[in-house]
Amino acid sequence: MSDAENKPSRTMRPCPICSKLSTQEDFPFCSERCRKVDLNRWFTESYTVPVVETDDLDDDDQGGL
């Protein structure tokens, strides 16, 4: 048996970068290029996770931690 036969089949989805159908080799992307575009966006901090700032809490309000 080849490696392709041993891999579980994934549903083809639109690539998150260009919206073409994804491939088995580059899932969830359609190509190596789109994988690299996504990686670059992470490295340049284009993707961010929203955070709630809690600077208004005093040290006394933290219960002695």
pTM of the predicted model as reported, rounded to 2 decimal places? 0.60
**Per-residue pLDDT tens listing for the chain (65 residues):** 455 556 667 788 999 999 999 999 999 999 999 999 999 999 999 988 888 888 766 555 555 55
Q: Which amino acid is at 7?
A: K
- Counting beta carbons within 10 angstroms of the beta carbon of residue 30, is it exposed (0 to 12), middle (13 to 18) or buried (19 or more)? buried
Check: CB of residue 35 under 8 Å from CB of residue 29.
yes
Question: What phi and psi values does residue 10 have, to the nearest 5 degrees?
Answer: -110, 150
> Cα 19 to chain center, whole Å?
15
Q: Is 18 annotated as a binding residue?
A: yes
Q: Is 30 annotated as a binding residue?
A: yes
Domain spans of the chain? 19-45
